[in-house]
């Protein structure tokens, strides 16, 4: 009997610890003032907004959180591209290659932001809306891979077009002789 009571008490204590959210002194969720740290798998952003209506406030706060995640993603990709260029040396320092890599970065961020999830939302008494957004880091890696493959397919298609055009021009030049 004592063992059963002990197990039940332990169970309820552990269950209570697992589900009790942290709050700030003003009653707001802890995450409104302390953005969860980025983990190896997830990046977090917190944003707030106060507009004329609650719906507009939600829209604005969610947009701001996505913008924060987008800036983080762009910075992460740009840093990778810079490292790649530095390691590749002078062979890649052409304007055309840099433009391709920049385009790859922009397109990847646009694709990647589709994976942003609003984890929590809290509305202050004055109508200010706070949102906690998360983004799986694997989505950024996957979006980058997909965009790189698309770019590679486009480059291959462009190379084939260039070969066809060159063959055609060679044929036209032979007719002139």
Q: Which helix (H) or strand (E) holds 108?
A: helix 95-112
What is the rounded distance in angstroms from the CA atom of residue 27 to the CA atom of residue 25?
5
What is the rounded distance in angstroms from the CA atom of residue 73 to the CA atom of residue 16?
36
- Quickly count helices (H) and strands (E) in the chain: 4, 3
The total domain count for the chain is: 1
Range of the domain at 87: 21-143
Task: Please report, for the domain that includes residue 136, its CATH number.
Answer: 3.10.129
Q: Count CB neighbours of 85 within 10 A.
A: 16
pTM exceeds 0.95: no
Residue-wise pLDDT for 65-86, tens only, equals 998 888 887 777 666 666 666 6
Indicate if the pLDDT at residue 99 is higher than 90. no
Gyration radius of the chain over CA positions: 26
Decide if 118 is inside a domain.
yes
Decide if 132 is inside a domain.
yes
Decide if 158 is inside a domain.
no
Residue-wise pLDDT for 24-73, tens only, equals 888 899 999 998 998 889 999 999 999 999 999 999 999 999 988 888 87
For the chain, what percent of residues have pLDDT higher than 70?
Answer: 56
Give alpha helix (H) positions in 20-91.
Answer: 54-88
Q: How far does CA 54 lie from the centroid of its chain?
A: 26
Decide if 5 is inside a domain.
no
Q: Which two tokens stand for residue 151?
A: 């770019």
Q: Average pLDDT for residues 155-176, to the nearest whole number?
A: 68
Decide if 129 is inside a domain.
yes
Decide if 46 is inside a domain.
yes
Decide if 103 is inside a domain.
yes
Decide if 51 is inside a domain.
yes
User: Got the DSSP string for 135-154?
Assistant: EEHHHHHHHHHHHHHHHHHH
């Amino acid at each position: 009997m004592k063992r059963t009571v002990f197990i039940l008490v332990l169970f309820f204590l552990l269950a209570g610890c697992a589900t009790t959210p942290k709050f700030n002194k003003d009653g707001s969720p802890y995450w409104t003032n302390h953005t969860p740290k980025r983990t190896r798998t997830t990046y977090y952003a917190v944003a707030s907004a106060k507009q004329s209506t609650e719906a507009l406030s939600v829209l604005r706060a969610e947009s701001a959180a996505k913008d924060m995640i987008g800036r983080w993603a762009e910075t992460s990709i740009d840093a990778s591209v810079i490292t790649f260029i530095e390691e590749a040396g002078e062979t890649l320092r052409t304007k055309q290659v840099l433009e391709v890599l920049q385009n790859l970065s922009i397109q990847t961020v646009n694709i990647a932001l589709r994976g942003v999830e609003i984890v929590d939302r809290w509305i202050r008494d004055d109508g200010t809306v706070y949102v906690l957004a998360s983004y799986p880091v694997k989505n950024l890696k996957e979006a980058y891979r997909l965009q790189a493959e698309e770019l590679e397919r486009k480059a291959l298609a462009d190379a084939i077009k260039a070969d066809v055009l060159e063959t055609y021009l060679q044929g036209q030049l032979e007719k002139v002789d």
